[in-house]
Amino acid sequence: MSARSHVTLEEIARAAEVSVATASRVLSGGPRYVRPQLRDRVEAAAAKLAYTPNAHAQALAGGASRTVGVVCHDVSDPYFAAIVRGVMQVAGDNHLLVMLASTFRDAEREIAYVSMLRAQRARAILLIGSGFQDRDWEHAMATELAPYLAGGGRVAAVSRHPNLPVDCVLPANRSGAAALARVLLSLGHRRFAVLSGPPVLTTVADRLTGFRNGLASAGVCLADTDIVHGPFTRDGGHAAMRELISRGLRATCVFAVTDVMAIGALAALREHGIAVPDEVSVAGFDDIPIVRDLTPALTTVALPLLRIGERAMELALTEDPGSRRRVYRAAGEVVVRSSTASPSDRRAGT
Amino acid sequence: MSARSHVTLEEIARAAEVSVATASRVLSGGPRYVRPQLRDRVEAAAAKLAYTPNAHAQALAGGASRTVGVVCHDVSDPYFAAIVRGVMQVAGDNHLLVMLASTFRDAEREIAYVSMLRAQRARAILLIGSGFQDRDWEHAMATELAPYLAGGGRVAAVSRHPNLPVDCVLPANRSGAAALARVLLSLGHRRFAVLSGPPVLTTVADRLTGFRNGLASAGVCLADTDIVHGPFTRDGGHAAMRELISRGLRATCVFAVTDVMAIGALAALREHGIAVPDEVSVAGFDDIPIVRDLTPALTTVALPLLRIGERAMELALTEDPGSRRRVYRAAGEVVVRSSTASPSDRRAGT
DNA sequence: CTGAAAGCGCTTACAG
DNA sequence: CTGAAAGCGCTTACAG
């Protein structure tokens, strides 16, 4: 009668002339022993009727859910795409289905998704992507997570999420940016500009702080006017760079807090006929796969994106030995490529 | 006792001093009327206990599932990332959760995922990415899908999937490649080479056929030795290009069947000091976002990737009026950028 | 309008 | 080893 008429275990049992208990044992019970003859009959019936257990019924009856939830800002951003790839790999290895949500950087939607994931009784929830430095948000998210955690749910996060009591993998945002600053200083740069994303994002804040600290170690100071904020996207980087240019570009080196923004910046520079690195050096952060193929190839801080995704999934899948928070730090390595040069090289340029 | 002790509807009902039926009606029943006083009590109790309905129980009891399944080859590939972005957008608008599976181009795994999605009783399944031209695979997939469809499940596909009775959105692979060929011919090219992916993929086959037909219209013929097959990735394109170079590059124009492969090809060419487009022209297919930022910017066939994803999700969400298959064609538009030029320009190049 | 009860499709002690 | 039965947490006719 209902359009949704799937084959049920009971039908299999009937066809195989056994009880549903037995059918259940052969089809999804662990390694419980069942007489071969019965086992064969059940398997034959299941195959013949193309039986697929109803995962909802299984979950309800006590079987653990085979799904995990992942919430990120935007799957189509290469940074998240790379991390999610790592997540998918270990999920696949564990026969887990991934429910992926893109919040498009809407903090409220992020919480709404966690709530849906909670309703789905996902066995684990991964929070990928920067946290928000916002009291209300923190509180709302913590409130949403608490009952989930109390109910045995597992949560892991990537990046710094203030006050969230969960395991996490922390990219070296601060120290990476500081190291980059030092490399840039060693090239001879003294005047810098920064293309930044929304300062509410912890990732942005951390990279900015690190970069500033790195410069400070050489007595170089970054004025607020040297920082332009824009959306965390390629177009955001493009717009920010244009803004900088229109204000009269005085820096010899521009640091974009993400590679994606750096790509936009490079385009803006190209459009204005400003040569990189001859007239200005550009550096990014993340080392997303594409940047090595740009011309000039981008200097950046390499993060093990795939590994970060794998690790986050692993953290969420394994029980914490003690019940204390586990933190896995992902190192950042400065990779110097051709988008940066010494400022003195300017005169020698094309 | 169990670690997984979530708050249940019964507890809410008890706290609000109403029946579970009433609690259910206010919390998830449609617009059924409930005395305001009771309604308030229930809502207060639910809020206080941070109640989240168990989606499995809801689904089992008859409520429709709020999840859809999407299976693609690899989320981290920019082509799929862009399409999935479109999918996510309309899914979000419809308050649907997306279960995303990456098959990493493993045909068997693709079927296994459909089976899992079926078990999850996803309300719809999207097959994104090329089908396989393989009898056994076709049969296995059709067998997997049949009971799902019969049970009221909805399926939509992107790209050509031979013999699958489902709605689909078809990118203009053949005509787009043919149009590209004509444009390239009009530039004056007569010697071509193709960097191709696995020929079992319908997308590869269609683009190859289209390109070949386009050339044929001008009497130019593509020999089998002018085609190099490789993995459908950036590195695949890189390797294929190297192979071509090692064989002595005779073509004046190279067509990579995807932008991703073209990116690898461009890198290989750069490493060998071969100038593009001065010594050889390069064209791709898809127009993934990054290619306009390459140097030289890539000539390609633009597909409305976001729209394709949105459309696929829409097809899967809306009932087919008649019960006949719906096919939505996505046009491909040749976009000429700076990676292509006339072969005669060679002498004038750097 | 509201409550008691059946039923969704499984799994898992509990008895044979 | 195998079956009958209870129970997972909801929703939805069916009666008041």
Task: Give mean pLDDT, residues B280-296.
Answer: 97
- By DSSP bridging, strand A154-158 and strand A192-196 are unpaired
* pLDDT given at position A33: 78
**pLDDT tens-digit series, residues B49-82:** 989 888 899 889 876 788 999 999 999 999 999 9
Task: Give mean pLDDT, residues B266-292.
Answer: 97
* pLDDT interval class at B2 (50, 70, 90): very low
A100 at interface of B, judged by CB pairs closer than 8 A: yes
What's the CA gap between B26 and A28, in Å, rounded?
A: 36
* pLDDT interval class at B259 (50, 70, 90): very high
> What residues does A101 pair with on adjacent strands?
A71
* pLDDT given at position A152: 84
Q: Do A52 and B109 touch (CB under 8 A)?
A: no
Is residue B331 within 8 A of residue B172, CB to CB? The reply is: yes
Q: Which contiguous run of DSSP H or E holds residue B263?
A: helix B259-271
Q: State yes or no: pLDDT of B32 exceeds 90.
A: no
What's the CA gap between A54 and B98, in Å, rounded?
A: 18
Which residue did the predictor score with more confidence, A346 or B190?
Answer: B190
Three-state secondary structure readout of chain A: CCCCCCCCHHHHHHHHCCCHHHHHHHHCCCCCCCCHHHHHHHHHHHHHCCCCCCHHHHHHCCCCCCEEEEEECCCCCHHHHHHHHHHHHHHHHCCCEEEEEECCCCHHHHHHHHHHHHHCCCCEEEECCCCECCHHHHHHHHHHHHHHHHCCCEEEEECCCCCCCCEEEEECHHHHHHHHHHHHHHCCCCCEEEEECCCCEHHHHHHHHHHHHHHHCCCCCCCHHHEEECCCCHHHHHHHHHHHHHCCCCCCEEEECCHHHHHHHHHHHHHCCCCCCCCCEEECCECCHHHHHCCCCCEEEECCHHHHHHHHHHHHHCCCCCCCCCEEEECCEEECCCCCCCHHHHHHCC
* pLDDT interval class at B5 (50, 70, 90): low
* pLDDT given at position A64: 72
Task: Give mean pLDDT, residues B119-123.
Answer: 91
* pLDDT interval class at B1 (50, 70, 90): very low
Residues in chain B closer than 8 A to A294 (CB atoms) = 293-295
In angstroms, the separation between the Cα of residue B336 and the nearest Cα of chain A is 18
What's the CA gap between B256 and B291, in Å, rounded?
A: 13
* pLDDT given at position B129: 84
B143 at interface of A, judged by CB pairs closer than 8 A: yes
Q: Which of B79, B105, B120, B313 to mutate to test the interface with A (most CBs of A within 10 A)?
A: B120
Range B81-102 burial, b when 16+ CB lie within 10 A, else e: bbbbbbbbbbbbeeebbbbbbb
What's the CA gap between A77 and A66, in Å, rounded?
A: 27
Range B272-281 burial, b when 16+ CB lie within 10 A, else e: eeeebbebbb
B57 at interface of A, judged by CB pairs closer than 8 A: yes
Percentage of chain B beyond pLDDT 70 is 95
Please report the beta strands in B108-249, taking only residues with DSSP state E, as ranges in sequence order.
Answer: 124-127, 154-158, 167-171, 192-196, 227-229
Closest nt by CA–C1' to B6: D9
A119 at interface of B, judged by CB pairs closer than 8 A: yes
* pLDDT interval class at B262 (50, 70, 90): very high
Q: Which of A161, A157, A151, A172 is closest to A214 using CA atoms?
A: A172
A149 at interface of B, judged by CB pairs closer than 8 A: no
What's the CA gap between B126 and B87, in Å, rounded?
A: 9
What's the CA gap between A121 and A152, in Å, rounded?
A: 10
Residues in chain A closer than 8 A to B85 (CB atoms) = 74-76, 102
Q: Cα-atom radius of gyration of chain A, to the nearest Å? A: 26
Q: State yes or no: pLDDT of B133 exceeds 80.
A: yes
Q: Cα-atom radius of gyration of chain B, to the nearest Å? A: 26
Average pLDDT, chain B: 91
* pLDDT given at position B314: 96
* pLDDT given at position B276: 96
* pLDDT given at position A322: 67
B6 at interface of A, judged by CB pairs closer than 8 A: yes
A92 at interface of B, judged by CB pairs closer than 8 A: yes
* pLDDT interval class at B350 (50, 70, 90): very low
Give me the half-sphere count of Cα atoms (radius 13 Å) on the Cβ side of residue B347: 1
Q: State yes or no: pLDDT of B322 exceeds 90.
A: no
* pLDDT interval class at B202 (50, 70, 90): very high
Residues in chain B closer than 8 A to A75 (CB atoms) = 75, 81, 84-85, 88
3-class secondary structure, B334: strand
- Taking chain A, what is the end-to-end CA distance rounded to the nearest angstrom? 77
Closest nt by CA–C1' to B121: C9
* Amino acid letter, residue B110: E
Strand D nucleotides in reach of protein CB atoms, 7 A cut-off: 1-5, 7-13
| Residue stretches of chain A with pLDDT short of 50 | 1-3, 346-350
**Which residue has its C-alpha nearest to nucleotide D7's C1'?**
A61
Residues in chain A closer than 8 A to B56 (CB atoms) = 55-57, 59-60, 65, 120-121
Q: Which of A11, A65, A120 to mutate to test the interface with B (most CBs of B within 10 A)?
A: A120
Residues in chain B closer than 8 A to A57 (CB atoms) = 56, 60
Q: State yes or no: pLDDT of B183 exceeds 50.
A: yes
Q: Do A151 and B57 touch (CB under 8 A)?
A: no
B97 at interface of A, judged by CB pairs closer than 8 A: yes
Task: Give mean pLDDT, residues B276-281.
Answer: 96
Determine whether A224 is exposed, middle or buried from the number of CB atoms within 10 Å of its CB (0-12, 13-18, 19+).
Answer: exposed
3-class secondary structure, B227: strand
**pLDDT tens-digit series, residues B205-250:** 999 999 999 999 999 999 999 999 999 999 999 999 999 999 999 9
Neighbour count for residue A344 (Cβ, 10 Å): 10
Taking CA atoms, what residue in A is nearest to B145? A50
Residues in chain A closer than 8 A to B4 (CB atoms) = 121, 151-152
Q: Which contiguous run of DSSP H or E holds residue B329?
A: strand B327-330
**Which residue has its C-alpha nearest to nucleotide C11's C1'?**
A61
